Structure 1
Amino acid sequence: MTPTPAPRELIARACRVLTARGLADGVLGHISLRIDENTLLVRCRGPQERGLASTTAADVHWVDLDGAPAAVGELADGYTVPNELPLHTELLRRRPEVNAVLHAHPSNVVAADLAGLGVRPILGSFDIPGAHLAAGGVPVYAKAVLVRSRTLATEVCEAMGDRPVVVMRGHGLTSVADIVERAVLQAVSVDTISRFSLQVASAGGTLVDIAEEDWADLPDLGGSFNVATSWRHELARLHDCGC
């Protein structure tokens, strides 16, 4: 199945959302989308690299799980797959429910982890999907390494387990989901929680998890709101800032 232009543009916009949200700076970060059992689309790098903030559909290429072009013309003009492609491909190999993989370097997440502040359910109605994500646990991969081999990628997968997000110590985070939009929004939620955690700690406060009795009034509002509406907002923010 040859991918249409639409998923390439989705990945490009998602990369720009990451930058607009402050989760990816400069050229660091990438997003992929499963096309079939053996191939994926992934944000690549070329000789005219302008960074994630300027990602276009032309920067997104169709490759196999070994990083080879999946069709004539892919990885042309000097494009190369990310060094950490194994992080994407190993997750896609191991988790059939996952179609989208995001890797980014949000400074709030890195700083909060290094400060010993885990991703905890401290925010309630401020971000209900984020609260539930945090309550389920966000594990940490403790090596601050470049994940450029299947061996290291396997370690990340094992640290992540069946969770949607893993924090990578001194590095960033990886978020997985059934769709690109959800993977991005999960990363935004984890970054938001980390930012508030740092603010509370720097003010001399103590992080307090949501009270058990409050969970009954923190309902799942459904994908049409949690994802569709939120994603329209992210795209509108891109438009408004000319990104």
Structure 2
Amino acid sequence: MASIKELKEKVARSCQILAMEGQFDGILGHVSVRIDENKMLIRCRGPKEKGLLYTTPDDIKIVDFDGNGEFLEEHKPPNELPVHGEIYKVRKNVNCVVHSHPPEAVICSISNIPLKPIIGAFNIPAARMAREGIPLFEHSYLITKPEQAQEMIKVMGERDVVLLRGHGITVTGMSVEEATVQALTLNQLAKTTLEAVKSGFEPVEIPPEDFKDLPDLGTQFNAQLNWNYLEHKLFKLLA
């Protein structure tokens, strides 16, 4: 089992990777990881905030699911902490939550552009995600109250992802690596869909029978190998 130090480093790395890939604009967005049955590590803001791309383990603090915790006076938890805490309370299989604001996903949400399985082997996880259906939360407000987060969770159901109209996305995973890569997968689907719609033609869904040859490649391939690549890309960027 990973130590608190290792988990802080991993959450910080997730924030950096998602910022590098355009999911966070400056200081907005957050990642958390469950550490026990009522506590999590979550990205907080300090007085010397430099943005998500420059997140350090010192920005990651321990809090309970209602936001009480180890805050130093200079750090502040995200206003939308209920997005994380309420999910952990009801989804016991979830160990990581990402809330981000990728522009392409936001554009699709406000334009009523559905994210359908229009790509296949190009991105198998995206194809399978679209086939399962991507729910849309119709409200665009900040989710700062537990009851607002609970409404989002009702829309989300047992899915790992949900679009928030005019706001962003919420993504869950069994690990930091999985949730991070799934957030990127969702926006890749949104990006491809948006480009197809901009071409002037209606995107064509792939034939259902094709899915028998589009297997689930597993977390090791989908999450861990992609995470390793993204870490290396980040190290080169910040070197």
Query: Structure 2-normalised TM-score?
Result: 0.97
Aligned to 2:68, what secondary structure does the other structure show? coil
Letter in 2 for 1:238: L
How many positions carry a matched residue from both structures? 239
Task: Give 4+ residue runs of structure 1 displaced > 3 Å after superposition.
Answer: none
The alpha carbon displacement at 1:2 in A equals: 10
User: In the TM superposition, what are the counterparts of 1:232-243 in structure 2 within 5 Å?
Assistant: 232-242=228-238
For the residues of structure 2 that align with 1:89 and 1:35, how far apart are their CA atoms? 12
**2:101 alignment partner, one of 94, 99, 105:** 105
Q: RMSD of the TM alignment (CA)?
A: 1.4
Q: Cα deviation per residue 1:162-196 (whole Å; 9 max; x = unaligned)?
A: 10000000000000011111111111111011111
The runs of 5 or more residues in structure 2 that have no matched partner are: none
Q: Is the 8 A contact 1:119 1:190 kept in 2?
A: no
Q: Cα deviation per residue 1:142-172 (whole Å; 9 max; x = unaligned)?
A: 0000000011011110010110000000000
Q: Is the 8 A contact 2:178 2:224 kept in 1?
A: no
Q: Cα deviation per residue 1:48-98 (whole Å; 9 max; x = unaligned)?
A: 1111011010000001112111xxxx3114101100001100000011111
* Residue aligning to 1:32: 32
Q: Cα deviation per residue 1:33-60 (whole Å; 9 max; x = unaligned)?
A: 0110110000001111111011010000
For the residues of structure 2 that align with 1:132 and 1:213, how far apart are their CA atoms? 13
Percent of matched pairs sharing the same residue: 39
For the residues of structure 2 that align with 1:165 and 1:223, how far apart are their CA atoms? 16
Aligned to 2:62, what secondary structure does the other structure show? strand
For the residues of structure 2 that align with 1:241 and 1:35, how far apart are their CA atoms? 30
The runs of 5 or more residues in structure 1 that have no matched partner are: none
For the residues of structure 2 that align with 1:223 and 1:36, how far apart are their CA atoms? 22
For the residues of structure 2 that align with 1:193 and 1:238, how far apart are their CA atoms? 22
Residues 222 and 3 of structure 1, relative CA distance in 2, 3 Å threshold: closer
* Residue aligning to 1:114: 110
* Residue aligning to 2:170: 174
Letter in 2 for 1:131: A
Query: Structure 1-normalised TM-score?
Result: 0.95
For the residues of structure 1 that align with 2:36 and 2:190, how far apart are their CA atoms? 34
* Residue aligning to 2:57: 57
Aligned to 2:122, what secondary structure does the other structure show? coil
The alpha carbon displacement at 1:228 in A equals: 1.4
For the residues of structure 2 that align with 1:95 and 1:240, how far apart are their CA atoms? 36
Residues 133 and 2 of structure 1, relative CA distance in 2, 3 Å threshold: closer
For the residues of structure 1 that align with 2:219 and 2:159, how far apart are their CA atoms? 18
For the residues of structure 1 that align with 2:93 and 2:220, how far apart are their CA atoms? 20
For the residues of structure 1 that align with 2:3 and 2:220, how far apart are their CA atoms? 25
